[in-house]
Amino acid sequence: MKVSEFKTAGKLITGLGAIKALADEMKRLGINNCAVITDKGVSSSGLLDQILTLISSKPLLIVDDVPPEPEVDVIERKLGLLREKQIDGIIALGGGSAIDSAKVLASTYDYTGPLLELFGENTLTQRNLPLIVIPTTAGTGSEVTNIAILSDPKAQMKKGIVSHCLLPDVAIVAPEMTKTCPPSITAASGIDAFVHALEAYISVNASPITDALAEKALKLIFSSLVHAYNNGENLSAREDMATGSLMAGLAFGNAGVGAVHALAYPLGGRFHLSHGMSNAVMLPHVLKVNAPFCQDKLYCVAKLLKVCERHHSKEEAVKLLLGAIEKLCRDVDIPASLTHFNISPTCVGELAEEASKVTRLLRNNPKQLSIEEIEDIYRLAF
């Protein structure tokens, strides 16, 4: 067994009603004058008001307009607002967009350089403000990862900042926070969580610990996503999804994700396709190419998800798994082709060039992909 380090948030508080721990955790971390970072969709769903009733002192600042898939200069402007106040801690309430923004804001309060220079690994060495995160989607797993993803509009790319400073002090995963999540977001962020678990499971850096987390996450998400999508009020499905996406976050936060994510990034950066949707559309196509290189692992997944019978060969079982994943995407109305988003196949070359630069993720993939192979995968997605 290789030596490995397991990274997660300082404390995880999970389960229905976990949100009631917020005031105590703020007290423990010495947060009296907080900033709350959220977005319009989350605040208009009533979740912000719910949080405010739990906080003993009024926030010094509420940033309630983080855009989906935020651009780096938007966060730079928010940082200016934050610095005008004597903030002593940050609460993030939202999906990956609000959480990633809060992770960067909490870690750059005293940083003087341009945020653009932080893209990459270990560029941040300290976090200045305590950070509590409350996910409202299930989800990105961002509540337990050392990554923040922002859009770089000049490069037309989604890019990651990777640092231990981005790991929150506390993650409160209360499934009821996801009940107001609209079906399309439930679907896209749910498939994103499924991809996190699957890519972590087949990653070259997978370990027995990340495998156990990924297996449970795959089972929970595969059995509950459609129910959460069809009826957002189904609390048991929401609970499974919240736990599944958290476990998938723990798995990929340590084993990494691979080519599905690498090929999804240019779709987000160039065509503003949401992170979940980009991953969902690329998933079956990347998986077909990866399959021969991680057949044993995919066979395990096929058995785990009960999509094959004892008499099926490994090849047959993997084929059945690929079919079941395509069906899952169809059942939650994820379009099967990039044409649906008015993207033209003429840009395949440029997309492949951009994706091939995401070596941070491509190196985790079970098959090392050439730029020609990446082009071929994009072609399959039309």
Ligand X SMILES: NC(=O)c1ccc[n+]([C@@H]2O[C@H](COP(=O)([O-])OP(=O)(O)OC[C@H]3O[C@@H](n4cnc5c(N)ncnc54)[C@H](O)[C@@H]3O)[C@@H](O)[C@H]2O)c1
Cα–Cα distance measured from residue 82 to residue 37, given in angstroms and rounded to the nearest whole number: 10
CA distances from 83 to 149, 193, 206, 352 (A): 22, 34, 40, 40
At closest approach, how far in Å is the CB of 362 from ligand X?
17
In this structure, what DSSP letter does residue 230 have? H
Q: Per CB under 6 A, does 183 bind ligand X?
A: no
The minimum distance between CB 192 and Fe ion, in angstroms, equals 4
Q: Does 68 bind ligand X (CB under 6 A)?
A: yes
**Residue 192 in the binding site for Fe ion (CB under 5 A):** yes
Contact between 140 and 278 under an 8 Å Cβ cutoff? The reply is: no
Establish if 64 lies at the interface with Fe ion (CB under 5 A): no
Under rule CB under 6 A, residue 45 binds ligand X? yes
Total count of residues recorded for the chain: 382
Q: Among residues 171, 17, 26, 28, which one has the least CA distance to residue 93?
A: 171
289: Cα within 13 Å, side-chain hemisphere: 24
The nearer residue to Fe ion, 176 or 192, going by C-beta atoms, is 192
Binds ligand X by CB under 6 A, chosen from 21, 62, 75, 94: 94
Where does residue 380 rank: exposed (0-12), middle (13-18), buried (19+ CB within 10 A)?
Answer: middle
Q: Which does 369 bind (CB under 5 to 8 A by kind): ligand X, Fe ion, none?
A: none
364 binds ligand X (CB under 6 A): no
In the beta sheet, which residues pair with residue 150? 159
Contact between 143 and Fe ion by CB under 5 A: the answer reads no
Q: Quote the CA–CA distance of 194 and 248 in Å, as a whole number.
A: 7
CB of 252 to ligand X, least distance (A): 8
Nearer Cβ to ligand X (89/96): 96
Regarding 256 and contact with ligand X (CB under 6 A), the answer is no
At 10, the amino acid letter reads: G
CA distance readout (Å), 264 to 47, 184, 258, 301: 30, 18, 10, 23
Count of residues engaged in binding ligand X, rule: CB under 6 A: 33
Binding of residue 193 to ligand X (CB under 6 A): no
Q: Work out whether 69 is an interface residue with ligand X (CB under 6 A).
A: yes
Residue 69 Cβ, how far from ligand X at the closest point, in Å?
A: 4
Q: Least Å distance between CB 360 and ligand X? A: 13
278 interacts with ligand X by CB under 6 A:
no
Contact flag: residue 189 with ligand X (CB under 6 A): yes
93 neighbors 36 (Cβ within 8 angstroms): yes
Q: Which does 59 bind (CB under 5 to 8 A by kind): ligand X, Fe ion, none?
A: none
* Residue pair 125/165 in contact by the 8 Å Cβ criterion: yes
Going by C-alpha positions, the residue among 280, 267, 284, 287 that lies closest to residue 351 is: 267
132-161: which residues touch ligand X (CB under 6 A)? 136-137, 139-142, 145, 147-149, 158
**Residue 239 contacts Fe ion per CB under 5 A:** no
Among residues 24, 3, 14, 72, the alpha carbon closest in space to that of 241 is found at: 14
Would you tell me which residues interact with ligand X (CB under 6 A)? 39, 41-42, 45, 68-69, 94-98, 100, 136-137, 139-142, 145, 147-149, 158, 177-178, 180-182, 185, 189, 192, 275-276
Give me the residues that bind Fe ion (CB under 5 A), please. Answer: 192
